[in-house]
Amino acid sequence: MSATIIDGKAIAQSLRGKIAAATADLKTRHGLVPGLAVVLAGNDPASEVYVRSKSKAVVEAGMQSFDHKLPRDVTQAELMALVARLNADKNVHGILVQLPLPKQIDSTAVLNAIDPAKDVDGFHPVNVGRLATGLPALAPCTPLGSVRLAKSVHSSLSGMDAVVIGRSNIVGKPLVQLLLAENATVTIAHSKTKNLADVCRRADLLFAAVGRPEMVRGNWIKPGATVIDVGINRVPGDAGKTKLVGDVAFTEAKDVAGAITPVPGGVGPMTIACVILNTLRAACAGAGVPEPDV
Ligand code: GUN
């Protein structure tokens, strides 16, 4: 049996349509236009592509986009001064500082300087703590998008056995918190986990976020499980070109899983949609307007 392919692109497009409608409503009723500032330091090609996609999505949703492109040799003081200006800017509701930052920069200090109310990445310790304690929080976009994809297959995740491979602060750990909030039974696995394949075979929901191309094999997957592949790895392809693959060996996995996300076209588009969703939420919270249900 071949798995249902979860069309992240279509699901993200539908979410972006709902966000655009809610944004138009916010403008009509409250005169409020959400704004996202994206800060990019240096010229890492992958980051440039990512930042362009975010700015395009922001504009398409009817929001304001403020792009700040800084040279690779930007100083800590310059970056901190920019964050302080954006924190104080009434037209900026969300701030996203693209990672990785150049090596002379203390990234933690920069991220911690962002006003938690504008922290659309959900990386600030205040948002991390709020998410972990079940308080309303801005949560990281890739985990938010991943859970939405799982919920496109199962309207309730309550009581399901979820396994998350990867314990990063950006994906694995916040994903665990979001799954707990959905009442899933969560196991977090990582590079030191014993019998990883056996652990994965217990999962009704398997999330792979390790950054290792096609590490999860078909025989690690419980028949009928839902597989959400968070990995985006560039590997050598045909004719001297490169191609993108996930952390899951897709061809093997799709014959075992019940539903699976492709790479590209799975989690990636959802991350972008959730950046604009968080910008909308931040704008509503800042203005004391109830958040639209999207
Ligand atoms: N670089 C790779 N992923 C991310 C992300 O989710 N947010 C930011 N700010 N930078 C990234």
pLDDT in tens, the chain (294 residues): 799 999 999 999 999 999 999 999 999 999 999 999 999 999 999 999 999 999 999 999 999 999 999 999 999 999 999 999 999 999 999 999 999 999 999 999 999 999 999 999 999 999 999 999 999 999 999 999 999 999 999 999 999 999 999 999 999 999 999 999 999 999 999 999 999 999 999 999 999 999 999 999 999 999 999 999 999 999 999 999 999 999 999 999 999 999 999 999 999 999 999 999 999 999 999 999 999 999
Q: Give the whole-angstrom CA distance, residue 148 versus residue 199.
A: 23
Cβ–ligand 1 distance for 96 under 6 Å, the answer yes
The model's pTM is: 0.97
What Å distances lie between residue 145 and 246, 274, 287, CA to CA? Answer: 16, 6, 25
Atom of ligand 1 minimally distant from the CA of 96: 9
Catalogue the long-range contacts made by 244-247 (C-beta closer than 8 Å, 24 or more residues apart).
245/213, 245/214, 246/208, 246/213, 246/214, 247/165, 247/208, 247/209, 247/210, 247/211, 247/212, 247/213, 247/214, 247/215, 247/216
Domains of the chain: 22-124 (3.40.50.10860), 141-267 (3.40.50.720)
Q: What is the pLDDT of residue 228?
A: 99
- Pick from 36, 53, 98 the residue to mutate for probing ligand 1's pocket: most ligand atoms within 8 Å of its CB: 98
Which atom of ligand 1 approaches the CA of 97 most closely?
A: 9
Tell me, what's the pLDDT at 244? Answer: 96
In ligand 1, the atom with minimum distance to the C-alpha of 99 is 10
Torsional sign, CA 30, 32, 33, 36: negative
Does residue 179's CB lie within 6 angstroms of at least one atom of ligand 1? no
Residue 56 annotated in active site? no
Indicate whether residue 121 lines ligand 1 (CB < 6 A).
Answer: yes
What pLDDT is attached to residue 293? Answer: 92
| Cβ-Cβ contacts under 8 Å for 247 (sequence gap 6 or more) | 165, 208, 209, 210, 211, 212, 213, 214, 215, 216, 229, 230, 231, 233
- Does the annotation count 13 as an active-site position? no
Tell me if residue 54 is catalytic: yes
Residue 278 is predicted with a pLDDT of: 98
How far is Cα 119 from Cα 265, in angstroms, rounded to an integer? 26
Are the C-beta atoms of 64 and 36 separated by less than 8 Å? yes
pLDDT at 126: 98
Whether 119 lines ligand 1, by a CB cut-off of 6 Å, is no
- pLDDT at res. 78: 98
Ligand 1 centroid to residue 224 C-alpha, Å? 31
- Compute, in angstroms, the gap from residue 175 CA to the centroid of ligand 1: 15
